[in-house]
């Protein structure tokens, strides 16, 4: 049972203190104004003190008439106000940065929001870096992020729905989409899944993503997390749905398919042929990254015949001193690379460079000279590690590196049959995945030739007049294709 | 059991997937050895047999579609029950299930045999069976759409193997085809029958038809699927006859796979190892589609719960595939399946079609 106003001054002050667990940060100030007792309460670091003094206290004290709640609302130039009579609600508002003014005897207290939050300003993106294109990244403050998005997508069509999640610690969550474009079913799915959540708290967007994604048993991410406003906005404009969580600098986008994890915003900024080339390069490098090491293991363990004879000689020479079977050799080196990556990620950047030299050059060279591994395996492992880092989505790159380990084991046990089995399993596994209920292998199955334009290749903008079919956008056509190619140059006359 | 299956748009697929469904269920273990059995029957004129068989396949597809069109949304199980009554209908349905089981077993056993011959002589049968069956179970658990997706994706993953045939083509000797038109007609027809053995799986049309969204457009992809199958068999047969001599071909059991032996790249010698392993991806749609047919039919016929049926099927297949060991037994199994399949797939539809026509005639007479 919550305490209700009106109360006497002493009772009010003590119950406020009680509800805030005797917090030393609670400031309680009592003014005796024209015979009234006006009580001002706030948590001092949560509010903007300049504003408090200039726009609130000064007006209250300088007036020579008695104050009423009505007068407070009318006379004080602060837009965000509220009136409450429950003590619980009053305390909660104060925690969020409100100043509470209570005139003794009144039935309600008046709250003025003057929040003062400490947060960093917009910075350059660090985890997803671009060679060219916008460099700004999101920050931890939801308001700043919303501001950035509103500025990029300045249309009234943009919807930012508000949801509150968390039973113990509440987080504000925003669902962002274009009303005239995004599929209603997608939006409903996201809204439903978020509002169904019964969790004590949502730590971060990536946690929310894991809570609402379709399958938690797979290594493959089903939703994209990004810190780039331009990537987020591109997805929204394509008809996808975005989710923002307060206090998190990463945003979430869905529904996704496997191929969209290999799209970078840069593909759009570059010329179409460069963009297509680089995107194709990423697909190839993923395939190589998965296949190369297992193939080496399979070929050297069982199928010497498939290696060309000229290569076989040098391979045999460099492997002649290696005492282990190829599986063990490959697993050892793969582990080494994973260790290097993990250590590099944990260390500060200055030490990280030394790490690279020690790990990469010294260890690699020494391992070969000590007869620990063959030269060729070092090349192969380095190549496949490098290839796995080309994925624009860090989670996808990690997934690719993880599935390599069971494949190496299978290749070591049953050669090329093991590899094909693992690949088949992988394909069926991907086929079964969904992202927000939409098929994960989208343009390939269900087959949508038109969507290859955007997800596999990057065709010139003039040719890309239709939106992706698999996103089920409300408006299919982007523009009139014949008009887009039209050009009225001055010197044609 | 109702004759018609209630149509769910969520479980349905578009008509053009029929191309992949029909094609991938036809191409599989049969294609690996078809040139040899053809040449044994029809000699160097085997390609004529393939052409005749192709025409016949189109006729069968046409009849099948006619049968299916005369019902609203039915599959063969419902149609049989409608025509012959509950008991005979269910018995015939069970015969279908048993036949598909045999077919599935034949495919698995043949592929395991190939792997043992080409890649791993010591590969244990149980392990290969476990590999294939686990993939089958994993895919079928995803439902009809995943089953169709498996056939589509594995089609794309393996169809490029066709292009590697350019190398044997360059070594072909056209004189092997001479003299033309010397094979007597009965032998040619025997060849036709041999072709049909290798393209069993066409009956899937009878089972998936109720799950097709736009049924009016079903004819084109179905015929295209059959056409492409015929094309591949023709290509393989012609190239094998030209590349090997007919006498040599009679001694090569898996001629299609042997064609891969001369293909090599600068980074890859002995491509046949890869091709045989990749052939698993050709086999998988077969296994998955046939397995789905069995599970689906048992659900329709006896209302058997799907998951336990699937696990039971996998166990039974595992058990039967590790018991029969010898090549001779495998040959017998293959011949048997072919024989039964020929009657069920390529003759039986005509009977059903006649029954339907009769029934319509009777109705008209009764009405007037």
Write the pLDDT tens digit of every residue in B95-110: 999 999 999 999 999 8
Residues A230, A237 contacting (CB under 8 angstroms): no
pLDDT, residue B121, reads: 87
A417 closest CB neighbour out of B120, B149, B157: B120
- Residue of A413, A416, A419, A441 to mutate, testing the B interface (most B Cβ within 10 Å of its Cβ): A416
Residue of chain A whose Cα is closest to the Cα of B262: A306
Mean pLDDT in residue range A113-139? 84
pLDDT, residue B269, reads: 84
A420 closest CB neighbour out of B146, B271, B280: B280
Q: Which residue has the higher pLDDT, A127 or A100?
A: A100
Q: Is the pLDDT of residue B368 over 80?
A: no
- Model confidence at B44, pLDDT cuts 50, 70, 90, reads confident
- Model confidence at A369, pLDDT cuts 50, 70, 90, reads confident
Q: Summarize pLDDT for B184-194 with one digit per residue, the tens.
A: 888 888 889 88
B119–A306 C-beta distance less than 8 A:
no
Q: Which residues of B are less than 8 Å from A308 in CB distance?
A: 264, 266-269
Q: Summarize pLDDT for B251-286 with one digit per residue, the tens.
A: 888 888 888 888 888 888 888 889 999 999 999 999
pLDDT, residue B179, reads: 82
A431 closest CB neighbour out of B115, B149, B269: B149
- Model confidence at A7, pLDDT cuts 50, 70, 90, reads confident
Residue of chain A whose Cα is closest to the Cα of B282: A424
Residues 97-116 of chain B whose Cβ lies under 8 A from any Cβ of chain A: 115
A428–B128 C-beta distance less than 8 A:
no
Residue of chain A whose Cα is closest to the Cα of B273: A306
- Model confidence at B325, pLDDT cuts 50, 70, 90, reads low
B277–A420 C-beta distance less than 8 A:
yes
pLDDT, residue A492, reads: 59
Tell me, yes or no, if B120 comes closer than 8 A to chain A by beta carbon. Answer: yes
> What average pLDDT does chain A have?
88
Mean pLDDT in residue range B47-73? 93
Q: Summarize pLDDT for A274-330 with one digit per residue, the tens.
A: 999 999 999 999 999 999 999 999 999 998 888 888 888 888 888 888 888 999 999
- Residue of B16, B131, B140, B157 to mutate, testing the A interface (most A Cβ within 10 Å of its Cβ): B131
B152 closest CB neighbour out of A311, A429, A447: A447
Arch. (CATH architecture) of B17-367:
Up-down Bundle (1.20)
pLDDT, residue B268, reads: 83
B135–A424 C-beta distance less than 8 A:
yes
Tokens of B70: 């005369």
Residues 246-305 of chain B whose Cβ lies under 8 A from any Cβ of chain A: 264, 266-271, 273-274, 277-278, 280-281, 284
B139–A431 C-beta distance less than 8 A:
yes
Mean pLDDT in residue range B315-322? 91
- In A, what residues contact B, Cβ < 8 A? 302-303, 305-309, 311, 414-417, 419-421, 423-425, 427-429, 431-432, 439, 441, 444-447
Q: Is the pLDDT of residue A452 over 80?
A: yes
- Å between A398 CA and nearest CA of chain B: 24
A271 in helix, strand or coil?
Answer: coil
Domain regions of chain A by residue span? 9-113, 123-256, 281-438, 449-484
pLDDT, residue A114, reads: 87
Residues A401, A285 contacting (CB under 8 angstroms): no
Mean pLDDT in residue range A447-467? 87
B269–A424 C-beta distance less than 8 A:
no
Percent of chain B beyond pLDDT 90? 53
Q: Is the pLDDT of residue B3 over 70?
A: yes
Tell me, yes or no, if B55 comes closer than 8 A to chain A by beta carbon. Answer: no
Beta strand A123-124 with A136-137 is antiparallel
B267–A424 C-beta distance less than 8 A:
no
């Amino acid at each position: 049972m919550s305490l209700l106003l009106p109360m006497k001054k002493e009772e009010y002050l003590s119950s406020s203190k009680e509800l805030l667990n005797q917090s030393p940060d609670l400031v309680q100030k009592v003014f005796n104004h024209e015979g009234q007792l006006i009580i001002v309460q706030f948590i001092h670091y949560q509010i903007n003190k300049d504003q408090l003094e200039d726009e609130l206290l000064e007006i209250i004290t300088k007036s020579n008439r008695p104050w009423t709640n009505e007068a407070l609302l009318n006379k004080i130039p602060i837009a965000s106000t509220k009136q409450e009579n429950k003590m619980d609600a009053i305390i909660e508002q104060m925690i969020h940065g409100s100043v509470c003014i209570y005139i003794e005897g009144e039935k309600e207290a008046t709250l003025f929001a003057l929040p003062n939050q400490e947060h960093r300003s917009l910075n350059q993106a660090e985890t997803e870096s671009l060679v060219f294109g916008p460099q700004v990244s999101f920050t931890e403050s939801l308001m700043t992020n919303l501001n950035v998005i509103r500025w990029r997508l300045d249309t009234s069509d943009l919807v930012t729905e508000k949801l509150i999640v968390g039973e113990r610690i509440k987080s504000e969550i925003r669902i962002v989409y274009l009303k005239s474009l995004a599929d209603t079913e997608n939006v409903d799915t996201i809204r439903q899944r978020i509002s169904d959540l019964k969790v004590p708290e949502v730590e971060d967007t990536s946690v929310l993503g894991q809570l609402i994604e379709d399958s938690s048993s797979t290594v493959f991410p089903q939703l994209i997390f990004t810190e780039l406003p331009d990537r987020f906005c591109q997805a929204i404009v394509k008809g996808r749905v975005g989710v923002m969580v307060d206090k998190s600098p990463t945003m979430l986008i869905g529904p996704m398919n496997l191929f969209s994890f290999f799209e970078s915003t840069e593909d759009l900024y570059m010329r179409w042929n460069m963009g297509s080339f680089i995107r194709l390069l990423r697909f190839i490098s993923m395939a190589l990254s998965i296949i190369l090491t297992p193939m080496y293991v399979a070929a050297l363990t069982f199928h010497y015949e498939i290696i060309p004879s000229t290569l076989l000689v040098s391979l045999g020479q460099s492997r002649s001193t290696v005492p282990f079977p190829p599986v063990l050799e490959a697993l050892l080196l793969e582990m080494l690379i994973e260790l290097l990556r993990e250590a590099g990620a944990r260390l500060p950047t200055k030490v990280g460079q030394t790490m690279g030299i020690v790990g990469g050059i010294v260890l690699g060279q020494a391992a070969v000279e000590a007869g620990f591994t063959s030269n060729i395996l070092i090349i192969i492992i380095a190549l496949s590690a490098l290839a796995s880092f080309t994925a624009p989505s860090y989670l996808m790159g990690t997934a690719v590196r993880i599935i390599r380990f069971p494949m190496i084991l299978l290749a070591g046990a049953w050669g090329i049959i093991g590899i094909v089995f693992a690949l088949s399993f992988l394909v069926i596994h991907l086929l079964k995945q969904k992202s927000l209920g939409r098929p994960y292998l989208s343009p390939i199955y269900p087959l949508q030739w038109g969507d290859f334009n955007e997800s596999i290749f990057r065709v010139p903008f003039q040719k890309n007049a239709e939106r992706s079919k698999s996103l089920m956008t409300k408006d299919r056509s982007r523009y009139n294709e014949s008009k887009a190619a039209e050009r009225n140059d001055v010197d044609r006359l | 059991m109702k004759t018609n299956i209630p149509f769910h748009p969520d479980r349905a697929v578009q008509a053009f997937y029929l191309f992949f469904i029909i094609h991938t269920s036809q191409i599989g273990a049969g294609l690996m050895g078809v040139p040899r059995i053809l040449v044994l029957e029809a000699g160097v004129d085997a390609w004529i047999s393939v052409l005749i068989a192709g025409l016949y396949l189109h006729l069968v597809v046409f009849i099948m579609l006619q049968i299916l069109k005369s019902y609203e949304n039915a599959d063969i199980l419902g149609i049989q029950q409608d025509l012959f009554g509950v008991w005979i209908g269910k018995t015939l349905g069970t015969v279908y299930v048993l036949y598909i089981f045999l077919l599935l077993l034949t495919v698995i056993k043949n592929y395991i045999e190939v792997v043992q011959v080409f890649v791993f002589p010591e590969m244990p049968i149980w392990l290969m069976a476990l590999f294939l069956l686990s993939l089958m179970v994993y895919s079928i658990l995803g439902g009809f759409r995943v089953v169709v997706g498996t056939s589509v994706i594995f089609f794309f993953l393996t169809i490029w193997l066709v292009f590697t045939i350019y190398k044997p083509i360059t070594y072909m000797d056209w004189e092997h085809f001479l003299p033309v038109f010397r094979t007597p007609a009965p032998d040619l027809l025997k060849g036709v029958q041999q072709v049909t053995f290798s393209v069993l799986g066409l009956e899937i049309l009878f089972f998936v038809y109720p799950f097709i969204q736009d049924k009016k457009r079903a004819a084109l992809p179905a015929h295209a699927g059959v056409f492409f199958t015929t094309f591949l068999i023709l290509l393989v047969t012609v190239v094998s006859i030209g590349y090997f001599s007919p006498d040599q071909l009679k001694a090569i059991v898996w001629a299609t796979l042997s064609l891969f032996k001369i293909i090599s790249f600068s980074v890859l010698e002995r491509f046949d190892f890869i091709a045989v392993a990749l052939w698993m991806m050709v086999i998988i749609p077969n296994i998955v589609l046939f397995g789905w047919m069995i599970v689906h039919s048992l659900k329709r016929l006896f209302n058997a719960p799907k998951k336990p049926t699937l696990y039971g099927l996998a166990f039974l297949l595992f058990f039967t595939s590790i018991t029969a060991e010898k090549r001779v037994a495998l040959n017998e199994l293959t011949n048997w399946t072919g024989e039964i399949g020929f009657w069920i797939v390529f003759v039986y539809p005509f009977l059903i079609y006649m029954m339907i026509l009769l029934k319509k005639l009777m109705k008209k007479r009764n009405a007037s």
